[in-house]
């Protein structure tokens, strides 16, 4: 006597999960790689900006450190030692009169120009580094310049 076997349709759906995984996996990995690249970009941008802040913090300690431009640049580079392509530039200090901080005056004659007010001295550090993605993406440049600038008043 022949026995009838009833099929529930499970055999027909056995490969469905594998096909779905094959279709979704590339999209998932593309999103994952994009998240990793955005994290790397944010990390390097923060490093560049914080390096500028570290350099200017060194220069703002006193009038003596304010003229130590190479010391400010070194402090910036030491802060971002994970970035091998970081460049730091510290221009000479600039001055302004209290009450008119937006107007820059010559630091050598600041005491004379700011007769009714106090002369304030400021230092600035500019940092730059190039960010390169892990793989080339369409419509995204192969290298993106990251810039950081910090300005701080010198302690009297």
- pLDDT tens, position by position, 14-35: 788 888 889 999 999 989 998 9
Q: What is the pLDDT of residues 28-87, one digit of tens each?
A: 998 999 899 999 999 999 999 999 999 999 999 999 999 999 999 999 999 999 998 999
Strands in the chain per DSSP E: 87-89, 94-97, 100-105, 119-131, 144-153
> Within a 10 A sphere around the Cβ of 133, how many other Cβ atoms?
16
How many C-beta atoms lie closer than 10 Å to residue 140's C-beta? 9
The label of the residue with tokens 């050598």 reads 108
Tokens of 47: 């490093």
CA-nearest of 28, 78, 26, 29 to 54 is: 78
96: Cβ–Cβ under 8 A, 6 or more apart, which residues?
A: 102, 103, 104, 105, 110, 119, 120, 122
Residue keyed to tokens 């008043």: 153
For residue 1, list its beta bridge partners: none
Tokens of 136: 């080339």
Among 1-15, 58-72, 95-109, the minimum mean pLDDT is found in 1-15
DSSP 92: P
pTM for this predicted structure: 0.78
């Amino acid at each position: 006597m022949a026995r009838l076997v009833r099929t529930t349709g499970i055999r027909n759906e056995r490969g469905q999960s594998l096909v779905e995984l094959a279709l979704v996996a590339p999209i998932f990995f593309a999103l994952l790689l994009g998240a990793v690249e955005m994290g790397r970009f944010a990390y390097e941008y923060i490093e560049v900006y914080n390096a500028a802040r570290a350099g200017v913090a060194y220069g703002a300690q006193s009038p003596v450190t304010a003229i130590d431009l190479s010391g400010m640049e070194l402090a910036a580079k030491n802060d971002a030692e994970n970035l091998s392509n970081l460049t730091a530039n510290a221009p000479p200090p600039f001055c302004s009169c209290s009450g008119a901080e937006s107007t820059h005056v010559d630091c050598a004659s600041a005491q004379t120009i700011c007769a009714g007010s106090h002369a304030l001295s400021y230092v600035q550090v500019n940092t730059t580094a190039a960010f390169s993605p892990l793989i080339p993406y369409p419509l995204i440049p192969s290298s993106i310049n990251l810039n950081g600038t910090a300005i701080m008043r010198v302690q009297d």
